[in-house]
Amino acid sequence: MLGIFSKIKSHLRTITLFFVLFVVIFFAAFYLVNLDLNPEAKKVSVSSPIITPDLGTELNNRIGSTVVSMESYDDWAKRYVLYERNKGLDSDPDKDGLPNYLEYVYGTNPIKADTDDDGYSDKQEIINGYDPDAPGDTKPVVDVAISRINVDAPMIWSKSEKESDMLADLENGLSHFSKTASPGQAGNMIISGHSSNYVWAKGNYNHIFENLNDLQKGDTVTIRTAQQNGRVITYAYTVSDKFITTADDPKVFAAGDTPVLTLSTCWPIGTNLRRIIIKADLAK
Amino acid sequence: MNKKNVSRTMKVSIAAASLVLSAVFASAVLADVNVDVDNTNTNVNNNTATANANQSQSQSQSQGSGSQDQSQSQSQSSSATNTTNQTQTSRSRVNVDVDKDSNGNRKHEQNGKRLPKTGTDTAGLIAIAALASVAAAFGVKKYSAR
């Protein structure tokens, strides 16, 4: 036993040197391979797909105003010839399940159950994440903004739950987990983003969620949807919980009757061992 | 320090580094322990003294790491007329959830959905560790050769 200790002591210098070199080289290589080498440059290139209405000087001069607001609810009701009997906020003249105030917000026709004539009612389309005022399988453009961690990125509607599809989506922004809730709708909406990726990986969003762990309870996550008819609807979610778990934890996928947002990314940074999960409730 | 000693020291160092890395991976990946044991024994006797015995046993285990829960229950019932039934059931469960990540249960096995990989692959991390080991060993060799 004493012999072993004396041998270790005699090699202590070499062992110490080895460990120091190992740690230095390991972290240097880890940083080079995994982390964003020029974060500021990439942050500039990340821009919201939803353009905030900017009328420009010429249009401002022509209309003499810098602010354009939606028509009032009364004007809207008059345009669709809604009489006193059926112009209430909660009335539903076309019986599509969408009350007038939601028809007004989404810009859909309150006296026509299927505004875009694509075979699905306005309500069905909204619940399933489709644009109710655009034909076919058109989905609204969505972006996610989190001011606390300087995130403003497009959300890509994933085609399937296949990992390859989602990884392709992640090259162009954040990935919406297929068949989970749509923005503002009841249920659990799951959105994933990269916390790290190899330096040679494609895309400008390889580190978009690297600071997700900095979110605290009470922080706001803003989700904006832009329809083809020009309606931009903003949903604010308030962070309610944060935890670290596995990639297949049922708690992450559990859905109730209330609108919940789940944000996920790999953790610790530079690995895909675990997931950090942020839960947020729709603020009304 | 002669060459033989340096070579031996490097081997020991590489082995130690591998051991440390293995421990880190084991604690990160294998975070929970679940052990379930179910036992059921049934005996039926009637006038003609026939007997049936059924026994089933299942055990599952997964690893993880923080708190520890243990519960055990046992029940026994018997009746005797012309027929005697005797059933004995025992169940024990051990949960260990060291990192307190609420995963110390078996629900995960039934979930088909999985979040996408949004970080670099673990294989990359292992490759970097291997590269660092080789480079460090090379550095030590160079230093010792002086």
pLDDT for res A64: 63
In angstroms, how far is CA A154 from the centroid of its own chain?
Answer: 7
Beta bridge partners, B40, equal: B56, B89
Cα–Cα nearest to A116, from A234, A232, A229, A231: A229
What kind and span of H or E run contains B38?
strand B32-45
Sign of CA dihedral A128, A129, A133, A134: negative
Contact criterion met (CB < 8 Å) for B13 and A15: yes
Contacts of A15 in chain B (CB under 8 A): 9, 12-13, 16
Q: Rounded to a whole number, what is the distance in angstroms from the first to the last CA of chain A?
A: 70
ipTM: 0.79
Beta bridge partners, A141, equal: A226
CB pairs < 8 Å spanning A and B: 151
Closest CB to B116 among A25, A166, A249? A166
CA-CA distance, A193 to A205, in Å (whole number)?
8
Cα–Cα nearest to B136, from B9, B1, B24, B23: B9
Contacts of B136 in chain A (CB under 8 A): 18-19, 21-22, 25
Over residues B38-50, mean pLDDT: 47
pLDDT for res A88: 86
Contacts of B103 in chain A (CB under 8 A): 245-246, 249
Q: Where are the beta strands (DSSP E) in A115-217?
A: 141-146, 151-157, 174-176, 187-192
Contact criterion met (CB < 8 Å) for B115 and A275: yes
| Minimum distance, in Å, between the CA of residue B138 and any CA atom of chain A | 9
- State pLDDT tens for residues A87-144: 888 899 999 999 998 999 898 999 999 999 999 999 999 998 999 999 888 999 999 9
CA-CA distance, B47 to B49, in Å (whole number)?
5
Over residues B43-63, mean pLDDT: 42
Q: Of residues B27 and A180, which shows the higher confidence score?
A: A180
Question: Is pLDDT above 50 for B63?
Answer: no
Q: Where are the beta strands (DSSP E) in A8-148?
A: 141-146
Cα–Cα nearest to A209, from A153, A284, A162: A153
Contact criterion met (CB < 8 Å) for A11 and B115: no
Give me the tens of pLDDT residue by residue for chain A, a chain 284 residues long: 667 777 777 678 888 888 898 999 888 888 777 766 555 544 544 556 666 555 556 656 666 655 556 678 888 888 888 887 788 888 999 999 999 989 998 989 999 999 999 999 999 999 989 999 998 889 999 999 999 999 999 999 999 999 999 999 999 999 999 999 999 999 999 999 999 998 888 888 999 999 999 999 999 999 999 998 888 889 999 999 999 999 999 999 999 999 999 999 999 988 889 999 999 999 97
Question: Is pLDDT above 90 for B12?
Answer: no
| Minimum distance, in Å, between the CA of residue B29 and any CA atom of chain A | 6
- State pLDDT tens for residues B112-143: 899 999 988 877 788 888 888 888 888 888 88
Question: Is pLDDT above 50 for B107?
Answer: no
CA-CA distance, A158 to A164, in Å (whole number)?
10
Is the previous residue joined to A132 through a cis bond, with omega within 30 degrees of 0? no
Contact criterion met (CB < 8 Å) for B120 and A33: yes
